[in-house]
Amino acid sequence: MYILGIETSCDETGVAIYHSQRGLIHHLLYSQIEMHSEYGGVVPELASRDHIRKLIPLIEQLLHESNLTSKDITAIAYTAGPGLMGALLVGAATAQSLAMAWQIPAVAVHHMEGHLLAPMLEENPPAFPFVALLISGGHTLLVQVTAVGKYELLGESLDDAAGEAFDKTAKLLGLSYPGGVKLSELAKSGQVRFRFPRPMTDRAGLDFSFSGLKTFALTTFQKSEQSEQDKADIALAFQEAVADTLAIKCRRALQQTGLKTLVVAGGVSANTQIRAALTAMVAKENGKVFFPRLEFCTDNGAMIAYAGYQRFLAGETQGLEIFAKPRWAMSEL
């Protein structure tokens, strides 16, 4: 069976087709970055309007390039939340309308479950059970995963999400949107000069707090000469602190659960230094670490098609209502 996946929760329009035996058939992504960069961040109303413009042509192109027609599709999965309400509604309304027209079911997908399952699209997928670290722009979650749909929250960010901290720190260093990637590029020319704290690692528990790092970056920047080298050195110190903190907490989560497999996903998992820090930590623990390929770390349709396929197998299809839930805890799954 072929499952069509639709992702419109934020600033990327993503579509994909997943096949039950053949795996991922095709995926397409349209990024709105250029449009939002003029404003220094995502403008929700512009995001919604652009999803409206791009989504249907993208689905047409996807079917055409996959040599498939609507008749081949068994179900339509779409991101129902969490995310921007207007943006989600475009995906939800489109998915439900197509589902009604094509007389097939729609499947509501939780965006973070999509991220969590993204490594399953790789050739060598992780086996259950495992610990998942989900690091995106809106969430930082440590989850114990025993099966698809069986998630136990181990820890989460009490303030800024990891990606949010990257973006805010980038902004105060004068980097333009999308800040996270730009900060990580700048860090490449940084020299080890500053040492930032590793928040909440001196006490027990698996929660995170990243907002203090942003303030630390700001005061360090204000005290410096604010040269390009200063910026790069601060970017490196910030990134190193995030990477180290994530590694410390993930090691703790593996030890606490007795599990040996770590799965890392979400936009921030594209970060080279974070991937390296987590890979090194897991090697020391004699465990295994799994990441999605780089293009499936950030938002995409493929992870939604896959998560939707799993939900469809579990019999979780939607009624006719256009269902979107901007705030949606994973614990509700």
Q: How far apart are the first and last CA of the chain?
A: 24
**Given the complex with ligand KG4, which of 167 and 244 has the nearer CB atom?**
167
245 binds ligand KG4 (CB under 6 A): no
Q: Among 13, 136, 157, 184, indicate the residue that binds Zn ion (CB under 5 A).
A: 136
Ramachandran angles phi, psi of 50, nearest 5°: -70, -35
Calculate helix-pair angle for 228-257, 211-223, nearest 10 degrees.
160
The pattern of x and - marking residues 130 through 149 that bind ligand KG4 according to CB under 6 A reads ------xxx-----------
- Residue 267, interface with ligand KG4 (CB under 6 A)? yes
Among 155, 88, 145, 153, CA closest to 120: 145
**Residue 317 in tokens:** 């299809």
What minimum distance in Å lies between the beta carbon of 287 and Zn ion? 25
> Helices 179-187 & 272-284, crossing angle to 10 degrees?
70
CA angle 190, 40, 213 (to 5 degrees): 45
Give whichever of 10 and 305 is closer to ligand KG4, judged by the CB atom.
10
- The site partner of 14 among ligand KG4, Zn ion, none (C-beta below 5 to 8 Å per kind) is none
Hey, which residues between 297 and 316 contact Zn ion (CB under 5 A)?
299
Per CB under 6 A, 298 contacts ligand KG4: yes
299 binds ligand KG4 (CB under 6 A): yes
Interaction of residue 32 with Zn ion, rule CB under 5 A: no
From the CB of 297, what's the least distance to Zn ion, in Å? 9
Q: Please report how close the Cβ of residue 111 comes to Zn ion at its closest, in angstroms.
A: 6
Please state the closest distance from residue 149 (CB atom) to ligand KG4, in A. 20
Q: Which is nearer to ligand KG4, 175 or 253 (CB)?
A: 175
- Quote the CA–CA distance of 217 and 165 in Å, as a whole number: 10
Distance CA 60, CA 138 (A): 30
Binding piece for ligand KG4, criterion CB under 6 A, among 99-107, 122-130, 179-187, 304-312: 179-187
Binding span for ligand KG4 by CB under 6 A among 37-45, 57-65, 265-273, 277-285: 265-273
- Candidate segments 78-86, 130-138, 162-170, 307-315, binder of Zn ion by CB under 5 A: 130-138
Residue in the block written with tokens 């942003």? 214
Q: b/e for 118-152, b at 16 or more Cβ within 10 A?
A: bbbbeeeebeebbbbbbbbbbbbbbbbbeebeebe
Q: Are 112 and 136 in contact (CB under 8 A)?
A: yes
Instruction: State which residue, 179 or 301, has the beta carbon closest to ligand KG4.
Output: 179
Q: Contact region for Zn ion (CB under 5 A) — 56-64, 129-137, 156-164, 315-323?
A: 129-137
Joined together, the tokens standing for residue 313 give 């197998």
- What secondary structure does DSSP assign to 291-307, as a single string? ---GGGTSS-HHHHHHH
**Identity of the amino acid at 54:** K
Nearer Cβ to ligand KG4 (87/270): 270
Using CA atoms, how far apart are residues 116 and 108, in angstroms rounded to an integer? 16
Nearer to ligand KG4, 131 or 181 (CB): 181
Q: Which residues contact 24 (CB under 8 A, 6 or more apart)?
A: 16, 17, 18, 121, 302, 305, 306
**Which member of 86, 119, 163, 292 binds ligand KG4 (CB under 6 A)?**
163
Q: Which does 271 bind (CB under 5 to 8 A by kind): Zn ion, ligand KG4, none?
A: ligand KG4
Q: Which residues bind to Zn ion, rule: CB under 5 A?
A: 136, 299
Q: Which residues bind to ligand KG4, rule: CB under 6 A?
A: 10, 115, 136-138, 163-164, 166-167, 178-181, 184, 266-268, 270-271, 298-299
